[in-house]
Structure 1
């Protein structure tokens, strides 16, 4: 398992369109991917759970990945939350 705190710099946070793009890509990884937002732990592969926490620009969240491609999943998430796209 890998954990990392990431400050979201994607403009306007994870509103509907970037959240959908994020979930679509995260679901391609085999690893379990969870986010801690405050005291809430959510499944990052669920659009409903992701939208329920309203991740905003400037917010710091903890990302936890666990599985065979956990490093790749974390690298994608780190890049996406800071730019809005995969680098």
Structure 2
């Protein structure tokens, strides 16, 4: 299993558009990918799960992946979060 922590820098937090981008990105991988915020963990392949967390600007999140392509999944998520200026 691989994990990575991020700080959300988008002033709107993780709202519908970035949540959709993340879900679409992660859905390409076979690994199980989870997003954790304030002790709640959801499947990052579920738009409803991600939206239910209500992640604001400044939030510390943790993304974990386990499975065959976990390293590639974490790397791709990191690139998308930085490219979209969502997290650092």
1:15 is the counterpart of 2:32: no
Q: Aligned in 2, Cα 1:83/1:69: closer, same or farther, shift over 3 Å? A: same
Residue aligned with 1:9, SS = coil
Q: Aligned in 2, Cα 1:80/1:54: closer, same or farther, shift over 3 Å? A: farther
Residue number in structure 2 paired with 1:71: 71
User: Gaps spanning 5+ residues in structure 1: where?
Assistant: none
User: Gaps spanning 5+ residues in structure 2: where?
Assistant: none
Considering only aligned residues, what root-mean-square deviation do their CA atoms show, in Å? 1.6
Alignment length, in residue pairs?
85
In 2, Cα distance between equivalents of 1:51 and 1:62: 15
Structure 2 length-normalised TM: 0.84
Residue aligned with 1:5, SS = strand
Deviation at 1:11, TM superposition (A): 4.5
